[in-house]
């Protein structure tokens, strides 16, 4: 699968740099070409000679060769590669990548790269958990980069926790999976609607009723569908995530009513819809034009039910369309999900429960159970939302196959 693929391996200065020798060896063994770019500090952790010998190419560090002035073009390297891997990605390098601080060849190449970029973080426990590191990783994800989760275990400092760079075998296997999926293009010609994020229901000019949805799950689905060839219409409530895939048309909405209008008016042109948004079930009956002043000890805001978008699409759905819903539960998860599956006329429902740690709102991970309309149940382990999206889209592809679509 990696035969003939061209990789830039960007090595930054962390102890896990030693694993890059094995990573390069594995990639070359698969028939891939590897161009190594190292930061100056990375050379302290693994020698250029080792990396040049294993990759069978001179490694690049500087913008130009001081001996003869030969220019190492980051633009050419960025265009040459089928994928760039930044491993190990230190807190410093990820911070620069997230903020466009182009002070070394690795970063300028990253900024010029048009290919997919894989980032394998490594660092000590507290550095990894620091809000700035987590924010930078979120930013990198939002740019469409693929973060390869570090493993938990004993760290170089002796502390125990998350921060060990993924093993070379794991990185190679993720690269293979990526190219298998991308080359499958099994959704070419399909139009798919995805709803994502929260809705905000206006109370008055300064307040709204909302929820904790970040949009991460829905955006991961949109990216996965697009990378497999689908034309995606992403109807998104307020979310701080960027989309960059050319196959994704994004429509920003605020309220449940707007989301309902944009989804329902497009559904007839869709082959499928995945309803991942956390839509408000109720909205204020009256939206005040002026800020509501504090007066009494108690205040009541009368609410009315919103349109159940999934249920209304379920009513209009033809035999050739696939409708997928999500169920976010806190109790009686299976029973409630099954009720929603039937009531909304879904082909399958993706259950995530807030009782499972790392599942549901805002986290980068999720743990799902898929229940289809024939009551077949598939349980999945806790995974990154990117990987969860793969499982959901695989199930969708199976539905298309079953309806001959």
**Does 87 help bind ligand PMT (rule: CB under 6 A)?**
no
**Does 392 help bind ligand PMT (rule: CB under 6 A)?**
no
What is the smallest separation between the CB atom of 231 and ligand PMT, expressed in angstroms?
Answer: 21
Q: Is-catalytic flag, 211?
A: yes
**Does 2 help bind ligand PMT (rule: CB under 6 A)?**
no
For the chain, the C-alpha Rg in angstroms (whole number) is 24
**Does 277 help bind ligand PMT (rule: CB under 6 A)?**
yes
Assess contact for 170 and 19: CB atoms under 8 A: no
**Does 213 help bind ligand PMT (rule: CB under 6 A)?**
yes
**Cα separation of 55 and 46, whole Å?**
13
Assess contact for 277 and 200: CB atoms under 8 A: no
Consecutive H or E run containing 394: helix 385-402
**Cα separation of 133 and 91, whole Å?**
6
**Does 214 help bind ligand PMT (rule: CB under 6 A)?**
yes
**Cα separation of 187 and 308, whole Å?**
27
CA distances from 377 to 4, 65, 401 (A): 40, 60, 18
User: Applying CB under 6 A, what is the total number of residues that bind ligand PMT?
Assistant: 28
The residues facing 234 across adjacent strands are: 194, 250
Q: Is 148 or 313 the residue whose CB approaches ligand PMT more closely?
A: 313
Q: Is 110 or 208 the residue whose CB approaches ligand PMT more closely?
A: 208
Q: Is 85 or 328 the residue whose CB approaches ligand PMT more closely?
A: 328
**Does 317 help bind ligand PMT (rule: CB under 6 A)?**
no
Among 227, 352, 353, 386, binds ligand PMT (CB under 6 A): 352
Task: Name the nearest CA neighbour of 272 among 392, 182, 114.
Answer: 392
DSSP track, 53-80:
HHHTS--B-SSB-TTT--B--HHHHHHH
Site for ligand PMT in 111-170 (CB under 6 A): none
Site string for ligand PMT, 43-82 (x = CB under 6 A): ----------------------------------------
Q: Is 117 or 275 the residue whose CB approaches ligand PMT more closely?
A: 275
**Cα separation of 71 and 69, whole Å?**
6
Task: Name the nearest CA neighbour of 195 among 276, 96, 284.
Answer: 276
Q: Is 230 or 275 the residue whose CB approaches ligand PMT more closely?
A: 275
**Sole window of 107-115, 151-159, 216-224, 227-235 interacting with ligand PMT (rule: CB under 6 A):** 216-224
Q: Is 131 or 189 the residue whose CB approaches ligand PMT more closely?
A: 131
Among 5, 19, 96, 216, binds ligand PMT (CB under 6 A): 216
Alpha-helical segments (H) within 212-371? 216-227, 256-266, 309-316, 333-343
What is the smallest separation between the CB atom of 95 and ligand PMT, expressed in angstroms?
Answer: 24
Among 11, 217, 230, 234, binds ligand PMT (CB under 6 A): 217
**Does 215 help bind ligand PMT (rule: CB under 6 A)?**
yes
**Does 281 help bind ligand PMT (rule: CB under 6 A)?**
yes
What is the smallest separation between the CB atom of 217 and ligand PMT, expressed in angstroms?
Answer: 3
What is the smallest separation between the CB atom of 170 and ligand PMT, expressed in angstroms?
Answer: 24
- From the candidates 211, 271, 345, 362, give the one annotated as an active-site residue: 211
DSSP helix/strand/coil, 114: coil
Contact residues toward ligand PMT (CB under 6 A) are 195, 197, 213-218, 256, 275-279, 281, 306, 308-310, 325-328, 340, 352, 360-362
Active site members:
211
């Amino acid at each position: 699968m990696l035969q003939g693929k061209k990789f830039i391996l960007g090595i930054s200065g962390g102890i896990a740099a030693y694993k890059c020798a094995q990573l390069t060896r594995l990639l070359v063994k698969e028939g891939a070409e590897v161009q190594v770019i190292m930061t100056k500090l990375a050379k302290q952790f693994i020698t250029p000679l080792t990396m040049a010998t294993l990759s069978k190419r001179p490694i690049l560090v500087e913008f130009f060769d001081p001996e003869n002035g030969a220019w190492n073009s980051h633009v050419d390297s960025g265009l040459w590669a089928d994928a760039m891997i930044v491993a190990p990605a230190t807190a410093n390098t990820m911070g620069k990548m997230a903020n466009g601080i182009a002070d070394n060849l690795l970063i300028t190449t990253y900024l010029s790269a048009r290919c997919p970029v894989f980032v394998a973080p490594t660092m000590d426990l507290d550095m990894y958990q620091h809000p700035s590191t987590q924010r930078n990783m979120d930013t990198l994800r939002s740019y469409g980069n693929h973060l390869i989760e570090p493993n938990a275990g004993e760290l170089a400092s002796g502390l125990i926790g998350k921060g060990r760079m993924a093993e070379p075998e794991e990185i190679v296997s993720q690269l293979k999976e990526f190219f298998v999926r991308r080359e499958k293009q099994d959704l070419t010609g399909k139009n798919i609607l995805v709803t994502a994020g929260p809705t905000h229901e206006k109370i008055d000019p300064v307040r709204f009723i909302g929820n904790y949805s970040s949009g991460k799950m829905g955006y991961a689905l949109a990216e996965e569908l697009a990378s497999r060839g689908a034309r995606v219409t992403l109807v998104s409530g307020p979310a701080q995530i960027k989309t960059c895939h050319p196959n994704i048309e994004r429509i920003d909405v605020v309220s449940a009513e707007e989301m309902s209008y944009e989804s329902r008016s497009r559904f007839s042109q869709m082959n499928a819809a995945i309803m991942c948004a956390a839509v408000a079930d109720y909205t204020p009956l009256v939206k005040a034009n002026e800020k509501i002043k504090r007066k009494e000890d108690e205040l009541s805001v009368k609410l009315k039910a919103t349109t159940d978008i999934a249920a209304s699409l379920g009513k209009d759905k033809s035999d050739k369309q696939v409708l997928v819903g999500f169920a976010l539960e806190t109790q009686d998860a299976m029973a409630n999900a099954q009720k929603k599956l039937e009531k909304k006329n879904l082909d399958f429902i993706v259950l995530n429960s807030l009782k499972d740690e790392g599942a549901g709102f805002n986290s980068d991970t999720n743990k799902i159970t898929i229940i289809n309309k024939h009551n077949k149940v598939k349980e999945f382990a806790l995974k990154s939302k990117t990987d969860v999206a793969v499982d959901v889209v695989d199930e969708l592809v199976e539905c298309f196959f079953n309806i001959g679509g």
